[in-house]
């Protein structure tokens, strides 16, 4: 047993087991549940900043370093500088969970990160002017041991000591108390929100109430099922037609016509033309006279102010395309009761 694992308490060591392969552990990441809970006075939680990036799991083993998206897509060529940093670590056997972000004016900016998401050529990625940072917040495997049954606090303590932190790899700090006060501060700073995590909880390969998303503003992913034609001097398209799955049914949620630059309008229109179909993918009627349909394969991140009574988005704005989410996973997020 390694020196780091030997530092665990007797009770914690009893929770360890021989780990499956790194790829198996990374295949099903733990997911947070949207919540409007604000009362955390009972304690037992830690609070991390909710980062506006993309989820990436990192595996290092005898085959080298592999970066994997939430859906298992390899990301090495997109973030080669992160691969380099993890290859230089002293430990050669670990599985990490974290978020890749790009900064703009001191804040994580998903729109800026978009400029790196589509790159699959290592040379282009290295030449990109968009610097990325990998914030690691959990560790699932270390030196052949499965850590997922350990309490979160113990995993975080191991994570802090297991790596050497320097750009572009950073440890995700946390606070042990604060709840509403911390969320108010996060929102005042323009952050996306907080993630509250049960300190004694294990790492569960599913969406869990042990991790809660506390958002400053509303927003989620939506499936793109079509678009409207542009008007006037507009290029590409007018608005994207959005939906979410309710069982096997794709429900219409409205359209988003703001948040694009000209390059994005042209790029997305090209993707939509490749996905063109004569069949409306939505189960609901869509009252747009210039609607054009597309196979529901693109996923967009959209911010909005609220849902209307008839289930439409109010004041939506496009934030970017998500390449780490499967369309069938996109449902209407409803906060669990606080």
pLDDT in tens, 244-296: 999 999 999 999 999 999 999 999 999 999 999 999 999 999 999 889 999 99
pTM over 0.85: no
Same structural domain, 126 and 64: yes
Residues 32 and 90 in one domain: yes
Note whether 102 and 89 are same-domain residues.
yes
DSSP state of 309: T
Q: Which residues are catalytic?
A: 50
Residues 129, 31 share a domain:
yes
Is residue 185 in a domain?
Answer: yes
Per-residue pLDDT of the chain (338 residues; tens, 9 = 90+): 789 999 999 999 999 999 999 999 999 999 999 988 777 766 799 999 999 899 999 999 999 999 999 989 999 999 999 999 999 999 999 999 999 999 988 888 888 998 898 899 999 999 999 999 999 999 999 999 999 999 999 999 999 999 999 999 999 999 988 777 888 888 888 788 899 999 999 999 999 999 999 988 788 999 999 999 998 889 999 999 999 999 999 999 999 999 999 999 999 999 999 999 999 999 999 999 889 999 999 999 999 988 998 999 999 999 999 988 899 999 999 887 55
Provide the residue range defining the domain that includes 103: 3-215
In-domain check, residue 181? yes
The rounded distance, in Å, linking the Cα atoms of 237 and 119 is 23
Give the burial string for 150-189 (b: 16+ CB within 10 Å, else e).
bbbbbbbbbbeebbeeeebbbbbebeeebbeebbeebbee
What's the structural domain count of the chain? 2
Indicate whether 77 and 173 sit together in one domain.
Answer: yes
Residue 337 resides in a domain: no
Which residue in this structure is represented by tokens 């006037």? 232
């Amino acid at each position: 047993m390694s020196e780091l694992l030997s530092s665990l308490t007797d009770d914690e060591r009893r929770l360890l087991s021989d780990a499956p392969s790194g790829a198996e552990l990374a295949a099903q990441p733990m997911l947070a549940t949207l919540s409007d809970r604000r009362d955390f006075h009972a304690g037992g939680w830690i609070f991390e900043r909710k980062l506006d990036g993309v989820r990436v799991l990192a595996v290092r083993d005898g085959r080298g370093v592999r970066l994997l998206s939430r859906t298992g897509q390899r990301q090495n060529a997109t973030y080669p500088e992160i691969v380099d940093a993890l290859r230089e670590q002293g430990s050669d056997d670990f599985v990490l969970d974290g978020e890749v972000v790009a900064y703009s004016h001191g804040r994580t900016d998903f729109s800026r990160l978009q400029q790196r998401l589509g790159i699959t050529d290592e040379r282009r990625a290295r030449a990109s002017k968009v610097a990325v940072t990998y914030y690691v917040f959990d560790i699932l495997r270390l030196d052949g041991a499965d850590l997922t049954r350990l309490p979160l606090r113990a995993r975080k303590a191991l994570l802090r000591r297991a790596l050497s932190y320097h750009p572009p790899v950073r440890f995700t700090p946390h606070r042990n108390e604060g709840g509403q006060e911390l969320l108010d501060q996060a929102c005042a700073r323009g952050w996306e929100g907080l993630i509250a995590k049960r300190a004694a909880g294990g790492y569960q390969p599913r969406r869990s109430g042990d991790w809660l998303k506390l958002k400053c503003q509303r927003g989620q992913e939506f499936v793109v099922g079509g678009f409207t034609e542009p008007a006037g001097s507009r290029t590409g398209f007018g608005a994207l037609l959005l939906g979410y799955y309710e069982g096997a049914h794709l429900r219409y949620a409205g359209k988003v016509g703001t948040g694009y630059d000209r390059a994005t309008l042209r790029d997305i229109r090209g993707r939509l033309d490749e996905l063109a179909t004569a069949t409306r993918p939505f189960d609901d009627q869509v009252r747009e006279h210039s609607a054009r349909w597309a196979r529901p394969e693109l996923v967009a991140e959209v911010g909005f102010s609220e849902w209307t009574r008839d289930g439409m988005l109010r004041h939506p704005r496009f934030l970017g395309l998500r390449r780490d989410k499967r369309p069938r996973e996109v449902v209407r997020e409803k906060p669990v009761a606080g």
